[in-house]
Structure 1
């Protein structure tokens, strides 16, 4: 299979982010291993992993689809974090329509992002 330099760069960045995520969670567990409730609270931070992957998709080199997908991941991670924390009185049951809005926003932004992040000729083949 033909692998472009952009695709290889993105794959390497994704691997680095996964590695850093595993290191961070491993260190957090190691530092909190005597406190079971602190270890359980670490799972509340998983939306930040989603945000990190979204930011990774938005960093160049990228194309319009990948940028909008990354933005959607960041927004979903932020929504999940806000609902878990209960900010502004938002919960899963009363804020789920925001996910529909994010999906619609992605559909609207996709053509615009494709104009600003055109696919390179070597990526189209």
Structure 2
């Protein structure tokens, strides 16, 4: 994936996040929605951001950072909601497990995405030559 597409994707994510945040604040000011009822869902924005990061990854780092962003978002949401008795003091080892899994999967992802990078680089070169 070219840097231009990656920057456009991150700008889109930031733009959509600002629109959602502004809408929620506006609805709170108009007494249509209570901010405290909506605020508990903010970690789900991290999950969406991680999914976006993982779509069409250019490198293993994109996949692992997307997974980490999703894991942290889900971990925070589970802690805030108290799923299965999870809280911050008893669930932190899940982050260590995720870190270990990421370290094990990074070489596999690097090998899988190596051919894909070559194709993406070839397409980029063709587009530059066409101009």
TM-score bracket, shorter-length normalisation: 0.7 to 0.9
Structure 1 position 52 matched with structure 2 position 48: yes
Alignment of 1:70 onto 2:66: yes
Shift of 1:116: 1.5
Length, aligned pairs only: 118
**Which residue in 2 is equivalent to 1:116?**
112
The unaligned stretches of length 5 or more in structure 1 are none
The CA RMSD measured in Å over matched residues stands at: 2.1
After the TM superposition, which segments of 4 or more aligned residues of structure 1 sit over 6 Å from their partners?
Answer: none
Unpaired runs of 5+ in structure 2? 122-131
- Residue in structure 2 matched with residue 21 of structure 1 by the alignment: 17
TM-score (norm 1): 0.83
SS of structure 1 residue aligned to 2:2: helix
Q: TM-score with structure 2 length normalisation? A: 0.79
User: In structure 1, how many angstroms separate the alpha carbons of the residues matched to 2:57 and 2:92?
Assistant: 32
How far does the alpha carbon of each residue in 1:94-122 deviate from its partner, in whole angstroms, 9 at most, with x for none? 10110111111110111111111127355
